[in-house]
Amino acid sequence: MALVAYESMNAAGERLIDSALLNSILVLMVVTSLLGTILAQRFATKMAAVEL
């Protein structure tokens, strides 16, 4: 989705998002996917320990 917005142009011929914003979006996606996996693993083991 972000890459499509980066490659799209408005009526004036300008990109909808610039490269700095595209990089920010990509970094945010990587951080979110890593943190989601790490936190899910950490809290799943704690939840399993509480249920026992």
pLDDT at 48: 84
Count of positions (residues) in the chain? 52
pLDDT at 52: 67
Q: Phi/psi at 26 (nearest 5 deg)?
A: -65, -40
Q: Which of 22, 20, 28, 23 lies closest to 7 in space, CA to CA? A: 22
In terms of pTM, does the model score above 0.85? no
Tell me the two tokens of residue 42.
């950490």
Residues 6+ apart with CB under 8 A from 17: 2, 5, 6, 25
pLDDT digit string (tens) for the chain, length 52 residues: 889 999 999 999 999 999 999 999 999 999 999 999 999 999 998 888 887 6
pLDDT at 6: 93
pLDDT at 25: 96
